[in-house]
Amino acid sequence: MAQHSLAPDTKRRQIVLASTSPFRRQLLARLQIPFDIADPGTIEAPVPGELPQDTAVRLAIAKAHAIAGRFPDALIVGSDQVAFAVGQYFGKPGDRRRAVSQLAEMSGREIIFHTAVAVLDSATGSTQSACVPTEVRFRHLSGDEIERYVDADQPFNCAGSAKAESLGIALLEHVRGDDPTALIGLPLIALCAMLRHQGVPLP
């Protein structure tokens, strides 16, 4: 477990990010509040017939609850992202072959990235959650473009096989959504509202 703190304050509730994602860790660090991180060990899989936004919210909440027993008086942040288009899910590819295959399938298509965030008060059991959709249209990509991108960015742990915050932006025609941090993996606008509701002082 690692801790990130810019200005320790003993009056603050402990905040725990239920994720090992470096992207979510970097995003939460933007808020300049102390937080711990813990691995929820949650299996990320959709339920047959479940809407993608419901999958994202369910998994975000499940990740927060998975570590609640270790942090009995904390605000636990869980998050999950589901990429979806026309009845098809695009998960984390895990390796080069799957990443190349995913990007070939997404070429020229609009994909909706549903990014959910949840805040669990482990002392009371109360939970807040929200899901922020982001519309992403991919350019028509050649095989060479896809392979060059995958080799350069190695997006093997990213849903949809593209890092929009990195070289992946070159693959896109447009991005449309209410929160630019949602596409990266943690909707900070929604999260800030939830933390304020719990009494966490934010600008």
pTM: 0.89
DSSP assignment of the chain:
--EE-SS--TTSPEEEEE---HHHHHHHHTT---EEEE-------PPTT--HHHHHHHHHHHHHHHTGGG-TTEEEEEEEEEEEETTEEE----SHHHHHHHHHHHTT-EEEEEEEEEEEETTT--EEEEEEEEEEEE----HHHHHHHHHHH--TTSTTS--TTTGGGGGEEEEEES-HHHHHT--HHHHHHHHHHTT----
Q: How confident is the model at residue 142 (pLDDT cuts 50, 70, 90)?
A: very high
Check residue 11 and give its pLDDT: 58
Question: What average pLDDT does this structure show over 154-173?
Answer: 93
Q: How confident is the model at residue 166 (pLDDT cuts 50, 70, 90)?
A: very high
Pick one of 3.30.70.270, 3.60.21.10, 3.90.950.10, 3.40.50.300 as the CATH number of 3-197: 3.90.950.10
% of the chain at pLDDT higher than 90: 84
pLDDT digits (tens, 9 = 90+) for 20-63: 999 999 999 999 999 999 999 988 777 888 999 999 999 999 99
Show me where the domains of the chain are located: 3-197
Question: Which residues are catalytically annotated?
Answer: 80
Look at residue 72 in the predicted model and tell me its pLDDT.
95
Q: Residues 107-133: what's their mean pLDDT?
A: 97
